[in-house]
Structure 1
Amino acid sequence: AALPILRAARPTAVNLMWALDRMQRRIAEGADAAALEGEAQAIQDEDLAANRHMGELGAALLGTDAGVITHCNTGSLATAGYGTALGVIRAGVSAGRIARVFAGETRPWLQGARLTMWELVRDQIPATLVSDSAAAHLMKSGQVQWVIVGADRIAANGDVANKIGTYQLAIVARHHGVKFMVVAPASTVDMSTSSGEHIEIEMRDPDELLAHSGQRTVVEGAVAWNPVFDVTPAGLIDALVTERGVIENPDAARMQALFA
């Protein structure tokens, strides 16, 4: 009975559907509660192993003395553990490849400020919080060599849906010669969606933009537009990292070769 409710919760994020489909197959096979619990544990264990492998693959691309900026939260709070984009940062710091870490605050929910910074401080990784609107100025300064983000859905041509604000980071990165890396498990790839134009973008309550911590901050009568995700075209992505391998400059042919 919970399956349709969960499916409707996040229409943009395809790996939720992947996990629900996997559990549904076990239900159809007659699995009891213990078997379903075992399947859920297997999903968690596989995700953690995939994250650690992606961390190694992504960190190997960074070079040395790299400055990186990330967006939203892609760490242990968003995955089974270690993280996707944040996993690459963890691995890169551990390997001595990363010298500077910046996290965008990620409005309007502030996942970067509230969650990512908490994880980085907990791991004793020196990091600097910046407002989302400071990213272009930061890249112009030369302190950032890589943007590293996660993904909620990756289309068959390599287009990527991720937290709102990702697309503008990719545009700014390309202008300033900064590399752009997407890190996500294969369960995030949706080969049945031909391009990002066909990805449903979840919309949230406009009131989230009109108030802060329950306090109205915008004049009564104002309206707001509040998409949760945007789509970054594959042409702006330098590297797509999954547990199956790395695709540089992803396109439909390279995606087909790895995920057919």
Structure 2
Amino acid sequence: MSKLKTMSMEWTGEEFILIDQRYLPLEEKYVTCKTYEEVAKSIKDMVVRGAPAIGASAAFGYVLGVKEFIGKPEFEEKMKEVKKTLANTRPTAVNLFWALERMEKRLNEIKNEENIVELIEKEALDIAFEDIEANKTMGRFGGELLNDGDTVLTHCNTGSLATVDYGTALGVIRGARDMGKDIKVYADETRPYLQGARLTVWELYKDGFDVTLISDNMAGWVMKQGKINAVIVGADRIAANGDTANKIGTYSVAVLAKEHGIPFYVAAPLSTIDLDTPTGNEIPIEERSHDEVRYCHKSKMVPEEIKVYNPAFDVTPNELITAIITEKGVVRPPYNENLKKLFEK
């Protein structure tokens, strides 16, 4: 059987292993999943995060479900349960649903074959390897938008940890460096889960980039000082009109970029574009545990009786987005027309 091993995940043929992103950068721990339920728990509990990585993880969770129930009389019913369990983990990231629909479609195509497990495993591996290639292609397209000597501001984590490998927004930054351009990075810490501080800075530092960490509320002032040439972020779902759901705080950064005349780019694969969702108003926004705000690294900051609101994502309107970078090219407004064209290529 084929295998996969990257910074974020490993498929051995029998087990699905994830680096536990909750402990980075101070500790490198791993979670071994032997059942689809363990994969679902890992997605829900943020062991793995980032829309493309969630999609690929769900695909391998689906394979584990097939391996568990193949040959049993209730196989088809059980696989519906597997899909539902995995789909209910994170409501905003459309890659999750895209991957599960693709896996279910493939299972229906091969249900009368003798080597179902082998073929469904190949589909999950195809999803994973296609993601890596898409990110590298995206990096080449996006890298053209940056100039030698530019400094980029990014938000949340969009690199090898948020994808199968290479990254979306960080993939663009890597793509520019691969072209010989000197690119510096400012990374927002990304409250309340601190993906920027814990993951992006760690990843870029390990990769040899000149990276500077700032708190989220410093972004406007850093722009005002003329330190930022471009903003590049990832996405969890892009509506048909270009409205983009991404980690909470992205909308604020986009407003600030507009005010300061700085281009604001979204980097995401086609699997993140949801043409069935007309606008950002229809994107479901996950609200996560209030303890993510009450606590910071296990230290309690406010009493339990204090009310908390913790949306995990916000939606950036299309008019604030300069361009969307995909593996099929760079898309500019009008997004309603031009995003559709991507799927016709």
TM-score calculated relative to the size of structure 2: 0.73
Partner residue in 2 for 1:206: 290
Partner residue in 2 for 1:6: 86
Partner residue in 1 for 2:99: 19
Partner residue in 1 for 2:137: 53
> Retained in 2: the 8 A contact 1:54–1:84?
yes
Bigger shift: residues 32-41 or 194-203: 32-41
Query: 3-state SS of the aligned residue for 1:80?
Result: coil
Q: Please list, as runs of the form range in 1=range in 2, the aligned pairs for 1:67-106 lying within 5 A after superposition.
A: 67-106=151-190
> Retained in 1: the 8 A contact 2:184–2:209?
no
Q: Please list, as runs of the form range in 1=range in 2, the aligned pairs for 1:214-229 lying within 5 A after superposition.
A: 214-229=298-313
Shift of 1:93: 2.4
The letter for the 2-side match of 1:82 is Y
Alpha-carbon deviations, 1:121-166, whole Å to 9, x = none? 1111110011011100111111101100000100010110000010
Runs (5+) with no aligned partner, structure 1:
none
Query: 3-state SS of the aligned residue for 1:50?
Result: helix
Count of aligned pairs between the two proteins: 260
Is 1:155 the counterpart of 2:274? The answer is no
Larger radius of gyration: 2
Q: Partners in 1 of 2:127 and 2:337 — Cα distance?
A: 29
Alpha-carbon deviations, 1:209-238, whole Å to 9, x = none? 011222321134211100000000110000
> Retained in 2: the 8 A contact 1:191–1:259?
no
Q: Partners in 2 of 1:13 and 1:99 — Cα distance?
A: 29
Partner residue in 2 for 1:254: 338
Query: 3-state SS of the aligned residue for 2:210?
Result: coil
Q: Which of structures 1 and 2 has the larger relative contact order (alpha carbons within 8 angstroms, sep 6+)?
A: 1
Q: Percent of aligned positions with the same letter in both sequences?
A: 51
The letter for the 2-side match of 1:19 is A
Q: Please list, as runs of the form range in 1=range in 2, the aligned pairs for 1:123-202 lying within 5 A after superposition.
A: 123-202=207-286
Of 316, 319, 322 in structure 2, the residue corresponding to residue 232 of structure 1 is 316
Alpha-carbon deviations, 1:43-72, whole Å to 9, x = none? 111110000000010010112321101111
In structure 2, the CA distance between the partners of 1:68 and 1:98, relative to structure 1 (3 Å rule), is farther
Is 1:117 the counterpart of 2:198? The answer is no
Runs of 4+ in 1 over 6 A off after TM superposition: none
Query: 3-state SS of the aligned residue for 2:183?
Result: strand
CA RMSD of aligned residues (A): 1.3
Shift of 1:173: 0.1
